[in-house]
């Protein structure tokens, strides 16, 4: 079996299959498994710490006797048919020997290069040799070839000198692996929509307008501000917060669909602001409050009653900035006064979930169809089947879904894939 | 056993613990406790770095007991136990101390008191760890068969998936025929496919599959035995049918709430969505003015939850009405329209384009029905609307079957406050129960669309197939042990055991109690009740528990 994507969906699919005794190859393009869930601070509706509940699953996956991990790797070609696919996987050179590196971080501390860190969404700087994140698995350093001085300009090699384990290997080459698998599960997840195009919200123009995923990193203990909710412009505590829903979603100019998870993550983020600072007050601007999952409505009520979150029904027209760098939110409330301007410390944009970059290219490699929004296509009554027999889809790459739903779908896709093996065609 | 050499690992859990509890102070404190030879803190003990440090410390300091003071054993105990095992330490020499749920989270506004409590918990853990003994896990054989309770779309789909992989399935349905809620539906959202086509197809596949035995008009009367080897009794037409199953899947669904006494509900002109579907199916519906009210009996004080499927159902039915009669005027009165995801939101947009009117009402000013007119205050226009209707359709929530609690009791699984079955972990184990070997899918878990029920059914099939494929499962050795010398055969333990896991047996010297190893859950009821103190709980001995209590009362 092949599972593409090492987020929570891919991990769960691999674990289910592995536990059934099936041999699984899990391919992840980033240097570590973990996916988007690893970037979240807490999860709704239980406020469980995200990495705390994900890390044991990652470890289980990493050590599973039936699962072979291929991180920092990409699927480049697929041929054959259900029951017998031939797959080419490109394993990118890390320039670090996985078996020797102990991730002590000495190299990264001495690396003279400073570039924005992708995992922390550019809010922190890292070296050209770096750990993807603190709990990364495999727990090894990676050299980013675009920024390494030696690989780009033939100078430096400091990391090589400071490494006491002799783990740096600039001779490492990209390698290609051939796999033969009976079925393929695609679980490549989502990207957050880039709201720069929605100029009325001033993202990138105003420093105190951030996306919800950036906010997750900002309040996370392992994030760029060590878990202190400080706004980017002046690092002052953010006490009045506006959460703007449907940014890019339910918007015919961008993504006409509903991204499903944003009403709940905004509710969670508002609660967390209050947990970080008892003087914090949050306003959630929404169109329809979508809280239809298990325990969700009660969670919203808790947010209102115990955390003082105010929900305002209305779409925010625009955000401007005052002279102190405070975002000013312009909105109208049904039956309220004409236009209200609210000054806040921080505005958080609930951006849509869109297909991962590269989904279209992967769809071509797999010869499967995508829907009009670019998600992998599947039918409501056969929810896991892609347009090609033997290739199954689950999680956010088929439609925006929350974590429990992604886990359900991962198990479901595993059952479908296992039916092929049981059928004797593999 | 050799002198205890205890290692204590205190987790910061990012700021979850470290932000409120003084972790360095706890490490220093632990170092001063008897038998503790090593202590350190970790940012995340559960990360691969933290686990490596545990393994390393076991080797470097010859630790023969490991304590992690962090979060909850529900999610993390297996991980730390297996880490100890990998380092050559018996996993039952690991002790968990919870300083997150029990300290930093509940006492986050009193950091000093939280730290003090954490000290006490660590002190107790150390006292107990000293007395821990190695235990061997019990292996149990799993019968390669599944019992699926409920023959709706979820149960049938799950049965087919398991049967296609070669496992024997018994599918039990209490109605006379299979199909569940699907039998009443006219079409399916969003494709408008005929529900009866889907039903007929599934039923034919179930019938044709020789690995599936279907029992209709049948109810589960008793479930005994244990994971891997359940003894099930089904009652069908007054006769009891006993059989065995390795695993059990709950797919019992939910029912539509009947809004008696609300909005003039009469089942004739004021009807529910399901009643509308029946009329559509029978082609007995003809009307021009239709008003629908959402959240009838849902999101109120009595049933505070959103039932997830009603907005989607209302939209689907409204679209059918418009297609059948383009002159039909349909108004949907709603609070928040729940068309999540890509497909349902597209249906919503189409419905607006088709001229269906949507009026948002506030729960404080619900619509009022007077004869054949609905009066509603439009929260966007700020005006009262009078809407005459030929039919008033009430969207009511799915509710748990009133007897779901009885089934839950038989299976020894929990239900939530609304009667829906409660999974093992809301986030990470949505298809499993905390009780091993029992799984969950469909609306028995939470109101689900047909598509979601199918998706969940495959998921539950995957989960259930894991022990079926492994053929053997390991059970915790935490069970009751009877001291045969002390037992007087009074039978009190047998009487009160909730799992029927201990029973009297005739022995040459008289009757004595014996534990059925695989059934015993180690709950301790028998041990507490035994007048002779002849029953000990393995891994939770009186001595270990008392040591903890004594440690609690000690000065720091």
| B519 and A CB contact within 8 Å | no
pLDDT at position B475 is 80
- Average pLDDT rounded to a whole number, residues A186-193: 98
Chain B residues whose beta carbon lies within 8 Å of the beta carbon of residue A288: 336-338
Tell me the CA distances in angstroms from B125 to A50, B88, B95, B108, B330, one per residue in order.
27, 21, 7, 22, 65
Contacts of B132 (CB under 8 A, 6+ apart): B65, B92, B93, B95, B539, B544
Cβ within 8 Å, pair B342-A62: no
Instruction: Find out whether the peptide bond into A45 is cis, omega within 30 degrees of 0.
Output: yes
Residue A397 has pLDDT above 70, yes or no: yes
Distance from CA of A391 to the nearest CA of B (A): 15
Tell me the CA distances in angstroms from B271 to B258, B306, B314, one per residue in order.
9, 20, 12
Distance from CA of A411 to the nearest CA of B (A): 4
- Average pLDDT rounded to a whole number, residues B93-98: 96
- Average pLDDT rounded to a whole number, residues B142-151: 97
- Average pLDDT rounded to a whole number, residues A21-30: 97
Distance from CA of A61 to the nearest CA of B (A): 12
| CATH superfamily entry for domain A194-352 | FAD/NAD(P)-binding domain (3.50.50.60)
Please tell me which of the candidates B161, B340, B349 has its beta carbon nearest to residue A290.
Answer: B340
**C-alpha to C-alpha distance for B453 and B152, rounded to whole angstroms:** 9
B383-388 β-sheet, strand order:
B368-370, B373-378, B383-388
Q: Give the other-Cβ count within 10 Å of A322's Cβ.
A: 10
* Strand-pair category, B472-475 with B138-141: antiparallel
A318-321 β-sheet, strand order:
A318-321, A327-331, A340-343
More confident residue, B78 or B117: B117
Fill in the DSSP letter of residue A379. B
Q: At what angle do helices B195-208 and B153-164 cross, to 10 degrees?
A: 40
B378: tokens are: 């439009």
Question: What are the pLDDT digits (tens) for B478-510?
Answer: 999 999 999 999 999 999 998 888 999 998 888
**Total CB pairs under 8 A between chain A and B:** 218
**C-alpha to C-alpha distance for B322 and B351, rounded to whole angstroms:** 9
pLDDT at position B76 is 87
Cross-strand bridge partners of residue A387: none
B276: tokens are: 């509308």
**C-alpha to C-alpha distance for A172 and A219, rounded to whole angstroms:** 38
Contacts of B284 (CB under 8 A, 6+ apart): none
Interface subset of B 83-142, CB within 8 angstroms of A? 108
Chain B residues whose beta carbon lies within 8 Å of the beta carbon of residue A229: none
Q: Which helix (H) or strand (E) holds B504?
A: strand B502-507
Cross-strand bridge partners of residue B536: B481
Cβ within 8 Å, pair B337-A288: yes
Question: What are the pLDDT digits (tens) for B205-231?
Answer: 999 999 999 999 999 999 988 899 999
A181: tokens are: 């698998």
Phi, psi of A26 (to 5 degrees): -110, 120
Distance from CA of B528 to the nearest CA of A (A): 34
Chain B residues whose beta carbon lies within 8 Å of the beta carbon of residue A296: 306
More confident residue, B501 or A30: A30
pLDDT at position A200 is 96
What is the residue extent of each domain of chain A?
Answer: 2-92+174-189+356-421, 106-162, 194-352
pLDDT at position A226 is 84
Q: Which helix (H) or strand (E) holds B55?
A: helix B48-60
Question: What are the pLDDT digits (tens) for A238-279?
Answer: 999 999 999 999 999 999 999 999 999 999 999 999 999 999
Distance from CA of A115 to the nearest CA of B (A): 24
pLDDT at position A424 is 41
- Average pLDDT rounded to a whole number, residues B520-549: 93
Give the distance, in angstroms, between the CA of residue B388 and the centroid of all CA atoms in the same chain: 44
pLDDT at position B277 is 95
B215: tokens are: 């029992």
**C-alpha to C-alpha distance for A347 and A201, rounded to whole angstroms:** 9
Residue A405 has pLDDT above 50, yes or no: yes
A2-92+174-189+356-421 with A194-352: one CATH topology? yes
pLDDT band at B1 (very low <50, low <70, confident <90, very high): low
**C-alpha to C-alpha distance for B248 and B245, rounded to whole angstroms:** 7
Cross-strand bridge partners of residue A24: A67
| DSSP string over A249-316 | BT-TTSB-S--SSHHHHHHHHHHHHHHH-TT-EEEEEESS----STTHHHHHHHHHHHH-PEEEES--
Contacts of B300 (CB under 8 A, 6+ apart): B363
| A288 and B CB contact within 8 Å | yes
Alpha-carbon radius of gyration of chain A? 22
pLDDT at position A426 is 35
Question: Which of A115-119, A179-183, B189-193, B445-449 is least confident?
Answer: B189-193
Residue A329 has pLDDT above 90, yes or no: yes
Contacts of B5 (CB under 8 A, 6+ apart): B35, B37, B38, B61, B62, B63, B64, B65
B415: tokens are: 């239900």
Phi, psi of B173 (to 5 degrees): -130, 130
**C-alpha to C-alpha distance for A69 and A14, rounded to whole angstroms:** 10
β strands within B237-343, DSSP E: 239-245, 247-250, 255-256, 270-272, 289-293, 329-334
Tell me the CA distances in angstroms from B280 to A150, B296, B354, one per residue in order.
72, 21, 19
**3-class SS at B214?**
strand
Q: At what angle do helices B48-60 and B73-86 cross, to 10 degrees?
A: 40
Please tell me which of the candidates A292, A375, A382 has its beta carbon nearest to residue B340.
Answer: A292
**C-alpha to C-alpha distance for B41 and B12, rounded to whole angstroms:** 7
Question: Which of A103-112, B91-100, B315-324, B513-522 is least confident?
Answer: B513-522
Report whether B191 contacts B449 (CB < 8 A): no
CATH number (3.50.50.60, 3.40.30.10, 3.40.50.2000, 3.30.365.10) of A2-92+174-189+356-421 reads 3.50.50.60
Question: What are the pLDDT digits (tens) for A65-91?
Answer: 999 999 999 999 999 999 999 999 999
**C-alpha to C-alpha distance for A97 and B120, rounded to whole angstroms:** 44
pLDDT at position B556 is 55
Please tell me which of the candidates A46, A59, A380 has its beta carbon nearest to residue B343.
Answer: A380
| B209 and A CB contact within 8 Å | no
Cβ within 8 Å, pair B426-A275: no
Q: Give the other-Cβ count within 10 Å of B1's Cβ.
A: 9
Residue A423 has pLDDT above 70, yes or no: no
Report whether B153 contacts B454 (CB < 8 A): yes
Instruction: Find out whether the peptide bond into A138 is cis, omega within 30 degrees of 0.
Output: yes
Cβ within 8 Å, pair B342-A403: no
Note the helical H segments in B209-340.
Answer: 273-281, 310-324
| pTM confidence score | 0.90
Question: Which of A198-212, A323-337, B391-405 is least confident?
Answer: A323-337
Interface subset of A 365-394, CB within 8 angstroms of B? 371, 373, 375, 379-384
Sole residue written with tokens 């490492």: A172
Phi, psi of B189 (to 5 degrees): -90, 145
Please tell me which of the candidates B108, B379, B461 has its beta carbon nearest to residue A335.
Answer: B379
Q: What is the 3-state secondary structure (H, E, C) of A396-408?
A: HHCCCCCHHHHHH
Q: Find, in chain B, the residue whose alpha carbon is nearest to that of A393.
A: B455
Chain B residues whose beta carbon lies within 8 Å of the beta carbon of residue A301: 304
Report whether A111 contacts A419 (CB < 8 A): no
Alpha-carbon radius of gyration of chain B? 29
**C-alpha to C-alpha distance for A219 and B137, rounded to whole angstroms:** 42
pLDDT at position A338 is 82
Report whether B200 contacts B177 (CB < 8 A): no
Question: What are the pLDDT digits (tens) for B243-299?
Answer: 999 999 999 999 999 999 999 999 999 999 999 999 999 999 989 999 999 999 999
- Average pLDDT rounded to a whole number, residues A162-178: 95
**C-alpha to C-alpha distance for B425 and B421, rounded to whole angstroms:** 12
**C-alpha to C-alpha distance for B160 and B389, rounded to whole angstroms:** 45
pLDDT at position A425 is 35
pLDDT at position A143 is 98
Chain A residues whose beta carbon lies within 8 Å of the beta carbon of residue B463: 16, 411
Report whether B207 contacts B163 (CB < 8 A): no
**3-class SS at B324?**
helix
């Amino acid at each position: 079996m092949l599972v593409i994507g090492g987020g929570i969906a891919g991990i769960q699919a691999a674990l289910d299959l592995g536990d059934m005794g099936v041999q699984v190859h899990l391919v992840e393009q980033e240097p570590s498994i973990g996916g988007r869930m690893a970037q979240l601070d807490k999860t709704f509706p239980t406020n469980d710490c995200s990495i705390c509940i994900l890390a044991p699953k990652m470890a289980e996956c990493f050590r599973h006797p039936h699962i072979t991990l291929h991180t920092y790797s990409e699927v480049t070609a697929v041929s054959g048919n259900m029951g017998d696919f031939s797959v080419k996987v490109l394993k990118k050179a890390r320039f670090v020997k996985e078996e020797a590196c102990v991730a002590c971080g000495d190299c990264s501390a001495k690396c003279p290069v400073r570039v924005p860190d992708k995992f922390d969404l550019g809010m922190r700087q890292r070296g050209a040799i770096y750990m993807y994140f603190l709990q990364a698995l495999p727990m090894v350093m990676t050299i980013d070839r675009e920024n390494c001085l030696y690989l780009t300009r033939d100078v430096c090699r400091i990391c090589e000198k400071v490494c006491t384990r002799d783990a740096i290997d600039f001779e490492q080459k990209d390698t290609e692996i051939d796999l033969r698998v009976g079925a393929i599960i695609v679980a490549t997840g989502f990207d957050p929509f880039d709201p720069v195009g929605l100029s009325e919200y001033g993202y990138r123009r105003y420093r105190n307008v951030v996306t919800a995923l950036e906010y997750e990193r900002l309040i996370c203990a392992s994030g760029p501000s060590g878990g202190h909710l400080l706004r980017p412009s002046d690092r002052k505590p953010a006490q009045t917060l506006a959460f703007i829903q449907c940014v890019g979603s339910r918007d015919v100019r961008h993504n006409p669909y509903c991204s499903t998870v944003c009403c709940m993550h905004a509710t969670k983020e508002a609660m967390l602001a209050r947990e970080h600072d008892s003087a914090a007050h949050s306003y959630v601007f929404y169109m329809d409050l979508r809280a239809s999952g298990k325990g969700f409505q009660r969670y919203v009520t808790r947010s209102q009653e115990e955390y003082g979150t105010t929900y305002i029904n209305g779409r925010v027209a625009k955000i401007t900035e005052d002279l102190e760098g405070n975002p000013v939110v312009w909105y109208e409330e049904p039956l309220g006064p004409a236009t209200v301007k609210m000054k806040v410390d921080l505005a958080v944009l609930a951006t849509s979930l869109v297909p991962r970059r590269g989904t279209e290219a992967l769809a071509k490699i797999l010869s499967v169809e995508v829907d009009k929004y670019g998600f992998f296509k599947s039918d409501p009554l056969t929810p896991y089947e892609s347009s090609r027999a033997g290739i199954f889809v689950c999680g956010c790459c088929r439609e925006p879904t929350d974590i429990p739903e992604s886990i359900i779908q991962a198990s479901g896709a595993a059952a479908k894939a296992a039916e092929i093996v049981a059928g004797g065609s593999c | 056993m050799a002198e205890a050499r205890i290692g204590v690992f205190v987790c910061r859990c990012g700021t979850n613990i470290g932000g409120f509890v003084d972790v360095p102070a706890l490490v220093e404190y632990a170092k001063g406790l008897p038998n503790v030879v090593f202590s350190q803190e970790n940012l995340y003990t559960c990360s691969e770095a933290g686990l490596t440090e545990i393994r390393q410390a076991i080797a470097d300091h010859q630790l023969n007991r490991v304590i992690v003071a962090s979060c909850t054993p529900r999610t993390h105990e297996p991980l730390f136990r297996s880490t100890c095992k990998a380092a050559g330490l018996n996993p039952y020499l690991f002790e968990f101390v919870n300083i997150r749920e029990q300290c930093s989270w509940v006492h986050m506004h009193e950091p000093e008191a939280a730290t003090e409590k954490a000290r006490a918990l660590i002190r107790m853990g150390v006292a107990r760890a000293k007395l821990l003994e190695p235990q061997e896990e019990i292996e149990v054989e799993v019968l390669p068969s599944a019992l699926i309770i409920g023959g709706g779309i979820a149960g049938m789909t799950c049965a087919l998936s398991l049967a296609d992989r070669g496992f024997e399935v018994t599918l039990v349905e209490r109605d006379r025929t299979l199909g569940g809620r699907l039998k009443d539906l006219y079409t399916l959202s969003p494709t408008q496919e005929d529900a009866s086509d889907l039903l007929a197809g599934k039923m034919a596949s179930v019938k044709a599959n020789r690995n599936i035995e279907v029992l209709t008009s049948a109810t589960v009367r008793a479930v005994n035995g244990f994971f891997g080897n359940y003894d099930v009794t089904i009652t069908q037409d007054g006769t009891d049918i006993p059989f065995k199953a390795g695993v059990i899947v709950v797919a019992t669904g939910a029912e539509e709430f009947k809004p008696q006494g609300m909005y003039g509900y009469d089942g004739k002109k004021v009807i529910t969505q399901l009643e509308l579907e029946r009329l559509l199916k029978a082609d007995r519906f003809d009307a021009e003015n239709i008003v629908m009210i959402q959240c009838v009996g849902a999101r109120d004080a009595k049933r505070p939850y959103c039932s997830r499927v009603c907005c989607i159902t209302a939209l689907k039915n409204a679209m059918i009405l418009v297609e059948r009669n383009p002159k039909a005027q349909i108004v949907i009165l709603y609070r928040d329209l729940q068309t999540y995801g890509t497909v349902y939101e597209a249906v919503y947009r189409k419905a607006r384009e088709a001229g269906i009117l949507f009026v948002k009402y506030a729960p404080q000013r619900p619509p009022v029905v007077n004869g054949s007119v609905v009066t509603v205050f439009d929260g966007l226009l700020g005006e009262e609307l009078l809407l005459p209707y030929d039919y008033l359709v009430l969207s009511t929530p799915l509710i748990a079957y009133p007897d779901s609690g009885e089934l839950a009791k038989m299976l020894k699984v929990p239900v939530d406050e609304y009667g829906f079955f409660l999974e093992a972990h809301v986030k990470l184990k949505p298809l499993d129960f905390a009780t091993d070997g029992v799984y969950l899918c469909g609306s028995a878990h939470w109101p689900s669309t047909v598509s979601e029920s199918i998706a969940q059914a495959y998921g539950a099939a995957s989960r259930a197939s894991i022990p079926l494929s492994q053929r053997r499962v390991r059970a915790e050795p935490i069970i009751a042990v009877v001291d045969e010398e002390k037992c007087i055969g009074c039978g009190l333990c047998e009487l009160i055991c909730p799992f029927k896991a201990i029973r009297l047996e005739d022995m040459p010297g008289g009757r004595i109690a014996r534990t059925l190893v695989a059934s015993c859950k180690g709950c301790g009821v028998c041990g507490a009740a035994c007048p002779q103190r002849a029953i000990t709980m393995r891994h939770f001995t009186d001595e270990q528990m008392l040591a903890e209590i004594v440690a609690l009362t000690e000065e720091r």
